[in-house]
Amino acid sequence: MWQEILSTLFPMRCIGCEIIISSTQSYLCENCKANLPFTHMPFIRDNSIYDKISESVKIEFASSLLFFSKKNITQKLIHHLKYKNKPEIGSWLAEIWYRQNQDNPYLKEVNTIIPVPIHYKRLKQRNYNQIILCCKRLASLMNCNFDEHLLERVIHMESQIESNKDERMNRMKKAFIRTNQSSSHYLLVDDVLTTGATLISCAHELLKIQNSQVSIFTLAIAS
């Protein structure tokens, strides 16, 4: 009864277009779901994400689910994921990506899922790392280990949206440290790939240990 009253007073709305949706729909109306800007980039070496990252650091495979641009559906989803206390959106998107790639044999080479960490100051402001639920869901679907604490962010920076790749790379040097000496094939996961500086810095740190390998997955890539 109370759920019906609450749904009447505070109906769920589509994140994309804000029309009222039913409780059985996940974040978007059917029209917005049908218009999600998928990259259709499989988890391989032959794509623009792999090329962008591998210019600076050795990685094995890379993939991204959605194209991100100003005011598109992806931007709205990521905004709710990061700033509106909706980390479960990451889990939902992780499932979509996994279904698209579940027959890809390269997925079986991954042993450990690693989230890009956020600094404790930002964690204190936001109260959560927006990518954790995504990583946990991927670890479950892929039957992998999940290690939330292998990487630690030790340098805090304000938004780098206006910075170019070289500026970001200089700022990101030594921003992350490893907390143990284990080796694995890591799937490094983040929300949006822009210049790639954060992922490159994390990958460099992970690869300091012999026999480690790194692959990349992001929920979105800036177009």
Indicate whether 94 pLDDT > 70: yes
Q: What is the chain's length? A: 223
Q: Are residues 121 and 166 in the same domain?
A: yes
Q: For 176-208, how does the pLDDT look when each residue is reduced to its tens digit (9 = 90+)?
A: 999 999 999 999 999 999 999 999 999 999 999
Indicate whether 215 pLDDT > 60: yes
Indicate whether 165 pLDDT > 80: no
- In this prediction, residue 26 carries a pLDDT of 85
Q: Are residues 141 and 54 in the same domain?
A: yes
Indicate whether 1 pLDDT > 60: no
pTM above 0.85, yes or no: yes
Please state, in angstroms and rounded to a whole number, the distance separating the CA atoms of residues 20 and 181. 50
Q: Are residues 218 and 190 in the same domain?
A: yes
Contact 157, 149 (CB under 8 A): no
Q: Roughly what angle, to the nearest 10 degrees, separates helices 88-101 and 73-83?
A: 130
Q: Are residues 15 and 70 in the same domain?
A: no
- Tokens coding 210: 């012999």
Q: For 127-164, how does the pLDDT look when each residue is reduced to its tens digit (9 = 90+)?
A: 999 999 999 999 999 999 999 999 999 986 655 555 66
Indicate whether 9 pLDDT > 60: no
Indicate whether 6 pLDDT > 50: no
Please state, in angstroms and rounded to a whole number, the distance separating the CA atoms of residues 24 and 141. 22
Q: For 99-125, how does the pLDDT look when each residue is reduced to its tens digit (9 = 90+)?
A: 999 999 999 999 999 999 998 888 888
Domain that holds residue 102: 37-222
Secondary structure of 80-121 in HEC code, one letter for each residue: HHHHCCCCHHHHHHHHHHHHHHCCCHHHHHCCEEEECCCCHH
Query: Among candidates 217, 219, 216, which has minimal Cα distance to 207?
Result: 216
Structural domains of the chain, count: 2
Three-state SS for 65? strand
Q: Give the domain CATH number at 50.
A: 3.40.50
